[in-house]
Amino acid sequence: MGYPVLESIYGGIGVFYAAIFNIPFNILVWTVGVMLFTGEKDFKSMRKTLANPALVAVFIGIILFIFSIKLPIPIENSLKIVGSTTTPISMIIVGSMLAEMKFKDAFSNVSVYYAAIVRLLIVPMIIYVTLKILKVDEFLINICVILEAMPAAVMAAIIAEKYGGDSLLASQCIFITTIVSGITIPIIILFL
């Protein structure tokens, strides 16, 4: 959800900086995160983890950026179309995972609300203070804080489902943080 919000506020340059900010997160999730889920910590599993499509896409993107390689227009347009479907498809995935539980049960886990407060308010404030202390440019601070103020990523439920974690709890977190973010995102943006 962060990319569409940032694009509406800052345009393409906001999305560009957000993508750069997300590179370490994506690398950590698809390496350390997967290793924590699977419990495998040997070199063979690390090599398999590094070869997953998400990390391959990150590395291809870095190469395209560093060497200023322009993709042919049909490929570029196709990638833009696929990219614009990310948010709706992610919501469909969460919805299909939540369909396994009763509606009232989606709201019953109190720990999910604590996670939502941490995810949507506390983490963005920690990022804000940290980047202020480091004297980072205000524009970049705003992008990082807004990105961190977004709901939990659908990637959490997908990884939990794929590697035998609690995908239902992950889906609850995504669902609740998405609903609550309707209130917290405007508050964070007004603060900035």
Q: What is the pLDDT of residue 159?
A: 81
Q: pLDDT class for 128, splitting at 50, 70, 90? A: very high
* Mean pLDDT of the 156-170 span: 81
Q: pLDDT class for 123, splitting at 50, 70, 90? A: very high
- Alpha carbon separation from 64 to 18, 30, 70, 116 (Å, rounded): 17, 21, 7, 36
Residue 90 tokens read as 């992610």
Q: What is the pLDDT of residue 45?
A: 63
Q: Indicate the pTM of the whole model.
A: 0.78
- Alpha carbon separation from 83 to 42, 88, 127, 133, 145 (Å, rounded): 33, 10, 26, 34, 22
pLDDT digits (tens, 9 = 90+) for 77-122: 998 888 778 778 877 877 777 777 777 777 888 889 999 999 999 9
Most confident of 26-30, 93-97, 102-106, 140-144: 140-144
| Separation between Cα atoms, residue 178 and residue 184, nearest integer Å | 10
Most confident of 41-45, 81-85, 95-99, 125-129: 125-129
Is the pLDDT at 5 greater than 80? The verdict is: yes
Is the pLDDT at 44 greater than 80? The verdict is: no
Q: What is the pLDDT of residue 178?
A: 87
With a pLDDT cut of 90, the percent of the chain lying above it is: 26
- With a CB cutoff of 8 Å and minimum separation 6, the contacts of 22 are 147
**What is the overall mean pLDDT for the chain?**
84
- Given CA atoms 183, 137, 29, 124 in this order, what sign does their dihedral have? negative
